Amino acid sequence: MKKNEHNMTDYKATYDNFKWNVPEYYNFALDDFDKWTGDKTKTALVTVSEDGTRASKLSFWELSMRAGKFANVLKKMGLKRGDRIFLMLPRSEEWYIAMLGMIKSGVAAMPTPNLVTGHDIDYRINSAGAVMALTDAEGAAKVDAARDKIPGLKHRMVIGQSRPGWESFEKLMDESPREFNPDDFGGKTRSTDPMLIYFTSGTTGNPKMVRHIQAYALSHIVTAKFIQDLRPTDIIWVHADTGWAKAAYGKIFGQWIIGATVMQWKMGAKFEPRYIPEIIQRFGVTVFCAPPTAYKLLIGQLDLAKYDWKELRHCLSAGEPLNPEVIKSWKEKTGLYIYDYYGQTETIPLVANYACLPIRAGSMGKPTPGHIVEILDDDCNPVPVNEEGHIAVKVKPVNPPSIFEGYWKAESGASFVGDWYFTGDRAYKDEDGYFWFVGRSDDLIKSSGYRIGPFEVESALQEHKAVMENAVIGVPDDLKGQIVKAFVVLRQGYAGGPELVKDLQEHVKKVTAPYKYPREIEFVSELPKTISGKIRRVELRKMEKEKKARA
């Protein structure tokens, strides 16, 4: 297939004719990953060193063999199908070995971000009833600190060190046979058996458990084939932490169903944009995905025109809305468009931009094959074109394998209404069927009776030459209820001050509706982000609340 040819050439025909084909019995590791092991030299995984200069490789055959050994370790330790394992590892080969071994055996994985600490750890382990923890030295210290609060955790396994009270991953793997027999765990898994548990946070209460079934992995063929446009010859690099659902989107399931090579970078504690183009060049990355924040930093800090982008053919973004100015700047500097898509921890991508369709900069795109997605009012009625409403996906009479079936051990009533799953996000749909993101229902700013989505204000600010990145929240106001406040990181060579504040405010008034301009602007050196680069507006709101309390 040539560089400018695509898996999907006719969106409407593909969408109209798509049908889910889910067998009664399915196991991603056995049915899809292992089908590529016949060629013992075909590369499944490339792991790049922190400095971006070296890489190790694992073939499909070798990774499958090691995953089988790990499944046999679980058998020896007495784990059985349906048990849960707390998995907290950085971007490493061991994370993949463990994930594939758990999937083979039918044990459910609980991928966890490496930054979680204290209460988060004991809450997750106790809520899910995890019987085992697998982590590295840093994670083991955190788990040990919570030891008295997690009496149900029977097994502890650590990678890369010897630690009292912990089994050594390396020692157990050395002693384990490589041949795996599904009968040791009760035979092959059903497609409806639990496979994966993520925790997702809201604005109130503890994080909720999202449990995905084995067929969830199969549903990511939509992600890899139609959105990422992958082929077996591709090398895909998705910049995401192992503990987030973005890893499921771009680092394991659909990619290996297609037979592509997955690349990961052992990134340091802080994101360093300068490594990205060098790694893409050095290792021949053909498909790249990163959050909008990463693209903004790349554009703002580097001379992208000096790099060779000839191998890279497809760029994507997800995790938060992508500003039109970022798409424009990236295209000017690299010759490539960025294709944005929208999904959740609870789902696979639901709305996306595709290589076979024209991009409308700032739009989320159109619904993905296999999903009926609409913009609804509070009573589940479709709203008129260009009118804001709830993003909802149809889950009845048959729930797609790509959509979770409700929060495990928690109330899900507000999310499932009638035949629909309400995502908690708001958008509108234009006359051509393109979706346009407005904001999280709980991120919306209500000022003097107006409803203002943070994304449109952020996009307006992003177009100003002085702005490298920004984030917008609503802050309390006695008169208006809330006002718009922007936190702005400036490009090199610009200094914050009253004149620039006024200039930015006037700029926003010209670009979007005047009532949306930020009444307050605070210049900051950086924005709070997750390790995967998503802006933490909840942290900005918390900072603002504490500031007001001190005042």
Domain ranges of the chain: 53-188, 443-550
- Mean pLDDT to the nearest integer, 188-210: 85
Amino acid in position 508? V
Q: Of 387 and 538, which is predicted with more confidence?
A: 387
Please tell me the distance from the alpha carbon of residue 155 to that of residue 133, in angstroms, as a whole number: 6
- CATH number for the domain formed by residue range(s) 443-550: 3.30.300.30
How do residues 325-335 score in pLDDT, each as one tens digit?
Answer: 999 999 999 99
pLDDT at 545 over 90: no
CATH 3.40.50.2300 fits 53-188, yes or no: no
Tell me the mean pLDDT in the region 219-229. 99
- Whether residue 507 contacts residue 461, with contact meaning beta carbons closer than 8 Å, is answered with yes
Check whether 180 has a pLDDT greater than 50.
Answer: yes
Section 459-487 average pLDDT: 91
459 to each of 363, 390, 430, 537, how far by Cα in Å?
12, 21, 18, 15
Encode pLDDT of 479-493 as tens digits.
Answer: 787 899 999 999 999
Do 289 and 72 meet the contact criterion of CB atoms below 8 Å apart? no
Strand bridging mode 420-429 / 389-394? antiparallel
The pLDDT value given to residue 449: 66
**Alpha-carbon dihedral sign for residues 484, 390, 326, 443:** positive
Report percent pLDDT > 90 for the chain.
79
Predicted local confidence at residue 204, as pLDDT: 47
What span, in angstroms and rounded, lies between the C-alpha atoms of 218 and 100?
14
Q: Which of 253, 257, 307, 318 is nearest to 285 (CA)?
A: 307
User: Does the structure show a pLDDT above 70 at 1?
Assistant: no
Q: Which residue in this structure is represented by tokens 């297939």?
A: 1
Across the chain, mean pLDDT equals: 93
pLDDT top residue among 411 and 59: 59
Beta carbons within 8 Å of 547's beta carbon, 6+ residues apart: none
Average pLDDT on 336-356 reads 97
Tens digits of residue pLDDT in 31-54: 999 999 999 999 999 999 999 999
Confidence (pLDDT) at 202: 58
What is the pLDDT at residue 526?
94
Least confident of 4-8, 306-310, 359-363, 413-417: 413-417
Highest-pLDDT range among 131-140, 238-247, 455-464 = 131-140
Q: Which band of pLDDT confidence, cut at 50, 70 and 90, is reported for residue 445?
A: confident
Tell me what pLDDT residue 122 has. Answer: 93
Indicate the pLDDT class of residue 435, thresholds 50, 70 and 90: very high
**Does residue 441 have a pLDDT over 80?**
no
Instruction: Indicate the range of 46-50, 261-265, 450-454 predicted with least confidence.
Output: 450-454
pLDDT band for position 413 (50/70/90)? low
97-133 pLDDT, tens digit each: 999 999 999 999 999 988 887 788 999 999 999 999 9
pLDDT at position 443, please? 79
Query: Under DSSP, is residue 468 helix (H, G, I), strand (E, B) or coil?
Result: strand
Across 168-174, average pLDDT: 98
pLDDT at 342: 95
| Contact between residue 132 and residue 85 where contact means Cβ atoms under 8 Å apart | yes
Fill in the amino acid letter for 293: T
Q: How far is the CA of 284 from the CAs of 237, 257, 277, 505, in angstroms?
A: 10, 21, 10, 43
Render pLDDT for 505-534 as a digit per residue (tens, 0 to 9). Answer: 999 998 887 889 999 999 999 999 876 677
Model confidence at 203, pLDDT cuts 50, 70, 90, reads very low
Mean pLDDT of 487-501: 96
Q: Average pLDDT of 61-90?
A: 98
Could you give the count of Cα atoms lying within 13 Å of 91 in the half-sphere of its Cβ?
28
